[in-house]
Structure 1
Amino acid sequence: MDRLINTVRPYAWGSTTAIPEFLGAAPTGEPQAELWMGAHPGAPSHVDRGSGAQPLSELIDADPEGELGPDAVAAFGPRLPFLLKLLAAASPLSLQVHPDLSQAREGFADEESRGVPLEAGHRNYKDPQHKPELICALTPFEGLCGFRHASRTADLLDALDVDGLKPYADILRAGPESDALREVLTAVLTADRDEMARTVAEAARAARHLAGGSPTARAGATAAATDGARPEAPAYGEELEARAYAAYASLADHYPGDPGVIAAMLFNYVRLQPGEALYLGAGVPHAYLAGLGVEIMANSDNVLRCGLTPKHVDVPELLRIVRFESGAPEVLRPVADAEGEQQYEVPTDDFRLSRYLLSPAGEPRRLDDRTPQILLCADGRAVLRKAADGGGELTLERGQSAYVQAGESVEASGDGTLFRATVAV
């Protein structure tokens, strides 16, 4: 067991208070967006095994099978295939999408063959890996995820009553749906910038009015904004609809004139409650808007952006990667096994996220030792003990994390919430 020394990334969209509060540290006054836990070369965690702090990436490079286990190395190569993060968004992240594995390999090989520098601002593929990801809310968490049904989006655009949006609503009603979604997204991202800026400003004013207006003023638009509303909570639809309009208006405040504001209106607005999660697979457009969560992803930097950013937007490549499929996003809740491990079930092997709700009255939880693990205490405290020889103990308070190499048998006890990140082999 190794206590992790982690790096905070100070991206501009980060909260100035959420991560410091979680870690029990004083705010610096600067944004603190992400706390990275893993072996990503951009900011690897460090561990100290008695000879000073060393990057986890170097320890793995020196002995891949000893650290990761033969099964993980056979499946993913001599690298930790996931990155665990604590993510704190105070303002919206860019609208983005990630490639699948074959697209990433093809795109990376193409840019390598053309000599595009890895650090170039217009480079799309930084590595030949895919980047599925999962976000699990620690506080109420807002985001955009996947295309809303075209007819419902047309209703939403009509409710805004903005002349520049009416052609898009007409296209969305004409179908077939996937073709209509592609045509509208393409039109939005390639529109005249000055004309689009005016449309964004008008749409933002209308969205702000609808967000704060009466239910009567919002009549006819509720169904458009509430794909995936939970039927067990009848009042949730109207509340979610108002929040969706407020989110679109907020996007325009942060990114005035950006075509991504209109593109965002094509996507489902989602509000997660603590413990709920979203899985974001290849080709699914998404953006995180606000909140604190635990994020786990495949260890890749491949991102194609479609708005809400000053960074490079490669529209043709983006359109090649996006999956123009509509539907309500699936909100995941953990499924517990007989041993009390609550797992978020996802269709990828690169990572596996689960949690334990530890209780002083409960039996210690023995963790599977076949694969490498990163353990994060998200609440209370967790006590880790080596199960094999009774020797070694490590206590994690909220915000603290540990790395457990493959083959090291560990038991967890305590009175808190412990997240467990590993791989499936």
Structure 2
Amino acid sequence: MDRLTNTVRPYAWGSTTAIPGLLGEEPTGGPQAELWMGAHPGAPSRIDRGAGPVSLADVIAADPVAELGAPCADRFGPRLPFLFKVLAAAEPLSLQVHPDLNQAKAGFLAEEEAGIALDAPERMYKDTNHKPELICALTLFEGLCGFRTPAQAADLLEGLNVDGLVPYVDVLRAKPEADALREVFTAVLTAPREAIAATVGEAVAAATGLATGDGPFAADYAMYAAVARTYPGDPGILAGMLMNPVRLQPGEAMYLGAGVPHAYLDGVGVEIMANSDNVLRCGFTPKHIDVPELLRVVRFVPGETDVLHASPADGAYDTPLDDFRLHRHDLDAAARTLDTGRPQIVLCTDGSAELTSADGTHLSLRRGESAFLPAAGAPVRATGSGTLFRATVRG
């Protein structure tokens, strides 16, 4: 077992207090958006096995079979296949989507052949990997995820009584679902900026007035009006009105697969994702947006977003892939034995956790502290009083 020293990323949308509060530290006064745990080359965690702090990425690269286990190393190569984070949003993150594996490989190759530098602002494909992810709320957590049905989107837009939205309502009511969503999504993102900004302004003004009423979309209107305070006139606000609002209570989670547009708006959660930086943005950002490429990746499939709960049996949140698995353990309810044979990162988010290895090694984790458990280690028993999150791969 190795205690982790982790990096906090100071993105502009981050909370100034949430991550310092979790870590028991004084706020810096600036935003502290994400606490990274893992071996991502951008900010790898560090461990100390007696010779001083070293990068977890370097430790894994030196002996991937011992650190990851042979099945994981064979499947994903000599690197940790997931990145684990605490995410603290005080302002909306960009409205975005991630590619699948084939799209990521093709996009990376195309940008390499075009000579676009990896750090260029217009670069979208930083690697050849997909980036599915799962977010689990630590506080009330609000976001947008996936598409509403066109009928629901038409009702919401029509309720604003804005002339500029009438053509979108007509399309949503008249065309097959996928075609309708694609046409309106495309129209919003490709419209002349001044014209669409005026329509957005009218829509937001109407939404603000309806947000305190008792209509069926009052809470949704309030959510879009809040986004507009940070991004006035952004066409992503109208694109977001085509999407499902999601409100997660602590312990609830949602999974985001390839092609699913989404945005995190407010709250604190633990996030786990495949080890990738591939992002295509749709709105809520001053960064580069490539609409044609975006439309190749977005999947225009309507339907409600599933809210996931930890399994009573093993604390796992069910996802359809092997790259990562997140577990939530209530140590007040029962001790847990953490199996071996695969890499694991554990994070205490409340109370404290006592980790005791079968070989007699012991490690205490307070709130905000985390540890790496290598695949070749002995089984570990977790006890204590509080909440422990465990990030690993599918066994």
Q: TM-score, normalised by structure 1?
A: 0.91
What is the 5 A alignment of 1:232-381? 241-337=217-313, 341-359=314-332, 362=334, 364-381=335-352
What is the 5 A alignment of 1:139-218? 139-213=139-213, 215=214, 218=215
Q: CA deviation at 1:72?
A: 0.5
- Measured in 1, the distance between the counterparts of 2:336 and 2:106 equals 43
Per the alignment, residue 121 of structure 1 pairs with 121
Match of 1:406 among 375, 382, 388: 375
What residue identity is the alignment partner of 1:406? Answer: A
Per the alignment, residue 394 of structure 1 pairs with 363
Per the alignment, residue 388 of structure 2 pairs with 418
Q: CA deviation at 1:410?
A: 1.1
Q: CA deviation at 1:250?
A: 1.4
- Measured in 2, the distance between the counterparts of 1:407 and 1:367 equals 13
2:294 match: secondary structure: helix
After superposition, what is the alpha-carbon deviation per residue over 1:197-240, rounded to whole angstroms, capped at 9, x for unaligned?
Answer: 11111111111111023x2xx3xxx1xxxxxxxxxxxxxxxxxx
Per the alignment, residue 2 of structure 1 pairs with 2
Q: CA deviation at 1:274?
A: 0.5
Per the alignment, residue 13 of structure 1 pairs with 13
What residue identity is the alignment partner of 2:363? Answer: L
2:96 match: secondary structure: strand
Q: CA deviation at 1:158?
A: 0.5
- Measured in 1, the distance between the counterparts of 2:328 and 2:198 equals 47
2:181 match: secondary structure: helix
- Measured in 2, the distance between the counterparts of 1:18 and 1:169 equals 40
2:267 match: secondary structure: strand
Q: CA deviation at 1:243?
A: 2.5
- Measured in 2, the distance between the counterparts of 1:256 and 1:385 equals 52
2:66 match: secondary structure: helix
- Measured in 1, the distance between the counterparts of 2:391 and 2:178 equals 35
1:343 match: secondary structure: coil
What residue identity is the alignment partner of 1:372? Answer: P
Is 1:384 the counterpart of 2:360 in the alignment?
Answer: no
Q: CA deviation at 1:336?
A: 2.2
After superposition, what is the alpha-carbon deviation per residue over 1:3-60, rounded to whole angstroms, capped at 9, x for unaligned?
Answer: 0000000001000111111111111110010000000000000011111111101111
Query: Please, which moves more after superposition, 308-317 or 252-261?
Result: 252-261
Q: CA deviation at 1:242?
A: 2.7
Q: CA deviation at 1:407?
A: 2.1
What residue identity is the alignment partner of 1:399? Answer: G
Q: CA deviation at 1:386?
A: 1.1
1:344 match: secondary structure: coil
Q: CA deviation at 1:65?
A: 1.1
After superposition, what is the alpha-carbon deviation per residue over 1:224-263, rounded to whole angstroms, capped at 9, x for unaligned?
Answer: xxxxxxxxxxxxxxxxx33311111111111111111111
Counting aligned pairs with the same residue, the percent is: 65
What residue identity is the alignment partner of 2:277? Answer: D
Aligned length: 394
Question: Any gaps of 5 or more consecutive residues in structure 1?
Answer: 223-240
Question: Any gaps of 5 or more consecutive residues in structure 2?
Answer: none
Per the alignment, residue 225 of structure 1 pairs with none
After superposition, what is the alpha-carbon deviation per residue over 1:238-294, rounded to whole angstroms, capped at 9, x for unaligned?
Answer: xxx333111111111111111111111000001000000000000000000000000
- Measured in 1, the distance between the counterparts of 2:234 and 2:372 equals 41
- Measured in 2, the distance between the counterparts of 1:81 and 1:144 equals 26
What is the 5 A alignment of 1:92-131? 92-131=92-131
